[in-house]
Amino acid sequence: MIPELGHFALVLALGVALIQVFVPAYGVWKRDPRALAVATSAAQTQALLVFFAFGCLTWSFVYSDFSVAYVAANSNLELPMVYRVTAVWGAHEGSLLLWVAILGGWTLAVSIFNRRLPADITATALAVLGTVSVGFLLFMLLTSNPFDRLFPVPLDGKDLNPLLQDPGMVIHPPMLYMGYVGFSVAFAFAIAALVSGRLDSAWARWTRPWTTTAWLFMTLGITLGSWWAYHVLGWGGWWFWDPVENASFMPWLVGTALIHSLAVTEKRGLLKSWTVLLAILAFGLSLLGTFLVRSGVIVSVHAFASDPARGVFILGFLTIILGASFLLYAWRAPKLASEGEMTLFSREGLLLINNVFLVVASASVLLGTLYPLLVDALALGKISVGPPYFNAVFLPLFAPLVLMVGVAATVPWKRAKLSEIVRHLRMPLIIAIAAAIVVPLYIHGHAPVAVIAGGFLGFWAIVTAAQEIWRRMRAKTTLSAGLLGVPRGVWGMSLAHFGLGVWALGVTFVSSYSVEKDVRLSPGQSIDLSGYEFRFDGVEPHVGPNYDSDYGTVTIEHHGEVVATVHPEKRLYRATQQMMTEAAVDHTPLRDIYVALGEPLSEDASHTGDWALRLYYKPMMRLVWLGGAFMVLGGLLAATDRRYRLTRAAEANFAKNSAVV
């Protein structure tokens, strides 16, 4: 019964979404305020219906209703409760429902917080969001209904993919989807600007917090995904340039460009059509990411579905949405003339260069991700493009970006004086160079050129970000007045740039000083790695809630003292008969020690003989994710800046402009 209600709610939601598209569109066309007003109520009804459907599916999981095919395929009576709830988005159908539910959430938020906007802008934006919703609801109902029944009803389910039974997986997909889907709001506003032909700093001011919020969720999602891969995949890597990772990284890069170009559009009224184009691209890449991940055209952990009908549907949808947007853009964008001149050596000029670099970086990732698919589709052979390509292209694009981050905050809008900039940045430059040489030498005793260069970039971003805060605080008399006097937006920017520096430092140290060793050890045997003594104490059988495991014990000593005792595991999930490596990590802020069980090498079934072990020593590994965390925090502060709560004056001004048009 409950699943049928959920299914019914989805069908109703589709109907309401259609109303949400067509009635406001008619209202915009005929300038009919009653039709415009429908947008808000339709959007809210649609969102509630989708939430209800999501609740129904969750209910089916919690009560293990195996008559629902999706539940039977992804749950099990032995599955712990927390994973039953997260199993809702553990595979294709449910993750689509999550997508639509999150879209409903964003739509609801737009309909609530944008009451003060002109009715036609709100209505157009909601109609655009409704269109996206119609597409995904149709997709779900036609090709991948999560509420499909299964007869005869199985006694037990097949269990959730063991890779997904991890705390990181509990929150990674919702956060990432918040980001993906969040860009739909910026997209909807961009379309509304094109349709109405009005794009001014008020538009930028109300688009900015939405975009920043989507960006911060995306950053969080990517960071969590990286952390999850590190712990669960058992390879000890934090980024693989896997097509699915790339699928989330491309919109992130373009989204980052977008939040920067929005700043120019708000402050200087420049780069208008470029900003609109970025908003369309960011959402287009989000859709492309969904297509890549969901259609099964690429092989990865995430590719649940390999049904060609699904791929064709998403590709068709992508073509329609992007095609229509680009047509509209080609037709209307020339109207969005920018006000004023732009010189290259100014804050807006540097932000434009930053945008060029970010977009080129995104394009190079796109090339490496799509080219193998294209070659395959044209039957020219099968190729793969490895991480060396991405690293080789990415490094020269990213280094100048980090350099500019340090300069940009000091360079004023409109026109900058070189001598003044040099005077400002002299001290940070000296500090960053000194730190880049001293820190690696102090910790590791040797400093290759690559580390000094990478370390310099990291310290440069960190020091200049701190200097920006310091410069603004110095004017105030007391420390607390100084700290409070800095606007949130500036705090946000500085923290995010600080995070970029921390991240760059982490990446530099991890990639230069990591020591990795695969070894064969018998119980009681030890081995030395980078000054740490690893003693393998053997494995014991262990019974978990829905798996059996070989539970290993490894004692780590440093200078004769025991630093840690870790327990890497090899699990065999009973329902799926899948093997999983659960790595054990001992970490301090300055280093990670990573131990994973490879495989038993002796023939006996008790697995008490020799084992293959993977031992890693990774300095500063935590900084990679800490950098991401700082960026998220920065985004949070920037999105909640007081300026964005529209002042009466700005509103009145906008209403006046609208009346003239």
Partner 1 sequence: MTKRQKRMAAIAALLVGLSLAAALGFTAFRKNMMYFYTPSDLLAGTSKVGAKLRLGGLVERGSVKRGEGLSVDFILADCVHSLPVHYEGILPDLFREGQGIVATGSMQANGAFKADEVLAKHDENYMPPQVADALKVQDGKHACAPFKSVNKVEAAK
Segment holding 482, helix H or strand E: helix 479-485
599 binds partner 1 (CB under 8 A): yes
Closer Cβ to partner 1, 306 or 657, answer by number: 306
Q: Which of 281, 357, 348, 261 is nearest to 321 (CA)?
A: 281
5 binds partner 1, rule: CB under 8 A: no
Q: Under the criterion CB under 8 A, does residue 577 sit at the interface with partner 1? A: yes
Residue 572, strand partner residues: 548, 579
Residue 578, interface with partner 1 (CB under 8 A)?
yes
434-443 b/e with 16+ CB inside 10 Å = b?
ebbeebbeee
In the complex with partner 1, which residue's Cβ is closer, 400 or 448?
A: 400
Vertex 77: Cα angle to 71 and 79 (nearest 5)? 85
Site string for partner 1, 154-183 (x = CB under 8 A): -------x-x--------------------
Please tell me the distance from the alpha carbon of residue 324 to that of residue 330, in angstroms, as a whole number: 10
Closest CB 72 distance from partner 1, rounded Å: 16
Among 85, 153, 299, 484, the residue binding partner 1 under the rule CB under 8 A is 299
Q: Which of residues 513-572 bind partner 1 (CB under 8 A)?
A: 518-520, 570
Cα 408 to Cα 391: distance, rounded to the nearest angstrom: 25
Question: What are the residues facing 588 on neighbouring strands?
Answer: 591
- Give residues with Cβ within 8 angstroms of 375, minimum separation 6: 381, 382, 383
CB of 260 to partner 1, least distance (A): 18
Query: Token pair for residue 92?
Result: 């294709």
- The CA distance from 176 to 280, in Å, is 19
Closest contact distance (angstroms) between CB of 231 and partner 1 is 15
Task: Report the amino acid identity of residue 230.
Answer: Y
- Cβ atoms within 10 Å, residue 237: 16
Instruction: Identify which range of 282-290, 403-411, 525-533, 574-582 contacts partner 1 by CB under 8 A.
Output: 574-582
The pair of structure tokens assigned to 546 is 């829905």
Q: In 3-state terms, what secondary structure has residue 98?
A: helix
Q: Any residues with CB less than 8 A from the CB of 655 and at least 6 apart, and which? A: 118
Instruction: Rule CB under 8 A: choose which of 82, 142, 320, 392 binds partner 1.
Output: 392
Distance (Å, whole) CA 240 – CA 226: 9
Q: How far is the CB of 642 from partner 1 (least distance, A)?
A: 37
In angstroms, what CA-CA distances link 611 with 403, 521, 559, 569, 596? 46, 6, 25, 12, 10
By CB under 8 A, name the one of 337, 360, 422, 438 that touches partner 1. 360
Least separation in angstroms between residue 390's CB and partner 1 is 8
Told to check if 339 binds partner 1 by CB under 8 A, we report no
Instruction: Give least dist CB 598 to partner 1, A.
Output: 4
Q: Which of residues 216-235 bind partner 1 (CB under 8 A)?
A: 234
Between 51 and 389, whose beta carbon lies closer to partner 1? 389
* The binder of partner 1 chosen from 48, 170, 385, 452 (CB under 8 A): 385
Residue 580 binds partner 1 (CB under 8 A): yes
Q: Where are the alpha helices (DSSP H) in 233-296?
A: 243-268, 272-295
Measured in Å, how far apart are the chain's first and last C-alpha atoms?
A: 53
Window 240-279: contact mask with partner 1 (x via CB under 8 A): ----------------------------------------
- Distance CA(568)–CA(554), nearest Å, equals 8
Give the residue with the Cβ less far from partner 1, 4 or 599: 599
Single out the residue of 563, 628, 548, 629 nearest to residue 595, CA to CA.
Answer: 563
Interface with partner 1, residue 429, by CB under 8 A: no
368 binds partner 1 (CB under 8 A): yes
306 binds partner 1 (CB under 8 A): yes
CB nearer partner 1, residue 520 or residue 645:
520
The 10 Å Cβ neighbour count of residue 303 is 17
Interface with partner 1 (CB under 8 A), residue from 48, 315, 328, 367: 367
List interacting residues with partner 1 (CB under 8 A). Answer: 161, 163, 234, 299, 301, 306, 344, 356, 360, 364, 367-368, 371, 381-386, 388-389, 392-393, 396-397, 518-520, 570, 577-581, 598-599, 601, 612, 614
